[in-house]
Amino acid sequence: MTTTSNPDLDASTPPGPGLAPTPAPAPGGRLAGRRILVVGAGTRRSDDPDAPLGNGRAIAVLAAREGASVACADVDRDAARATAELVREDGGHAQVVVADVADADACSTMVATAADLLDGLDGIVLNVGIGAGQWLGKTEPDQWDAVFDVNVRAHFLTCRAALPVLADGSSIVFVSSVAGLRPGSRIPAYDASKAALAGLSRHVAYEGARRGIRANVVAPGLIDTPLGRLATAGRPNRTKAPVALGRQGTAWEVASPVVFLLSDDASYVTGQVLAVDGGLSTL
């Protein structure tokens, strides 16, 4: 399970003068008593001694700091365990679930396992995505299908399994990408699949509304993650993207709005897309 918001646009843009990245938020209590499944909670392995956290790991850690019990799901058992250990070191409660969301059956099993381990579910974060192919002419049909299996079908299957299990008033957050709002990844399957999440989220919000279940999308832009650094090494000119705030974001800056949408602070927010991109998509 790849944990990423965008394999092409998550570039490593150096902070501008006086624009230091936001540090990890202090512990709070906005999710006290909540049971949250974070799909894609591991962070990609990196040889970089100064490697930052990935979005999924930051989301799991911050949700736990806000009082939630967290099920850390990932295809990489070691990566999921590492995230769970970080949560426990902070004094939080975490469980590990291993699942490959490219396998349709694994999605429902993942939800059932997380609900059993946490004694129910109050929230789900879907932070998985892959990219394959390049431009239309270099994207094969099987690559297109593989991307949609992970980036869209898995989200549909997880939500289908989760809606009957989630408690009333729960929240689902899809982690999409600015690539779903504007072109730029050069990977048509990736751009299209991330755009599709907005439509899926709106339907989930519509169907869940009768029970107060909310669904929203967070669309990160240029975020400093291990995967982002790897992609930047392959194409350095991606750092030239015109970010209005003059710097890349951090995984904590993705995690904070996700936690907001999981919490009662966002109790009247549903069916929305929130770009977390320093103004890249609008300014």
Locate the domains of the chain by residue range: 35-276
Of 42-56, 95-109, 136-150, 205-219, the one with minimum mean pLDDT is: 42-56
pLDDT-derived band at 10 (thresholds 50, 70, 90) equals very low
**What pLDDT does 26 receive?**
67
Q: Are 58 and 218 in contact (CB under 8 A)?
A: no
Of 23, 33, 99, 108, the residue nearest 70 (C-alpha): 33
* Stretch 174-199: mean pLDDT: 94
Could you tell me the pTM of the whole model? 0.89
SS3 69: strand
Catalytic-role residue among 174, 190, 252, 260:
190
Q: Is the pLDDT of residue 57 over 60?
A: yes
Going by pLDDT thresholds of 50, 70 and 90, the confidence category of residue 16 is very low
In CATH, the number for domain 35-276 is 3.40.50.720
Does 15 have pLDDT greater than 60? no
Contacts of 26 (CB under 8 A, 6+ apart): 65
**pLDDT tier, 233 (very low <50, low <70, confident <90, very high otherwise):** low
pLDDT, tens digit, 9 for 90 and up, residues 64-122: 999 999 999 999 999 999 999 999 999 999 999 999 999 999 999 999 999 999 999 99
Is 190 known to be catalytic? Answer: yes
Mean of per-residue pLDDT scores for the chain: 89
Please tell me which residue, 224 or 20, carries the higher pLDDT value: 224
Mean pLDDT to the nearest integer, 130-144: 96
CA dihedral 216, 173, 170, 268 (to 10 degrees): -30
DSSP result, the chain: ----S-TTT---PPPPTT-PPPPPPPP--TTTT-EEEEET-S------TTPPPPHHHHHHHHHHHTT-EEEEEES-HHHHHHHHHHHHHTT-EEEEEE--TTSHHHHHHHHHHHHHHHTSEEEEEE--------TTTT--HHHHHHHHIIIIIHHHHHHHHHTTTEEEEEEEEEE--GGGTS--SS-HHHHHHHHHHHHHHHHHHHHHGGGT-EEEEEEE-SB--HHHHHHHHH-GGGGG---TTSS-B-HHHHHHHHHHHHSGGGTT--S-EEEESTTTTT-
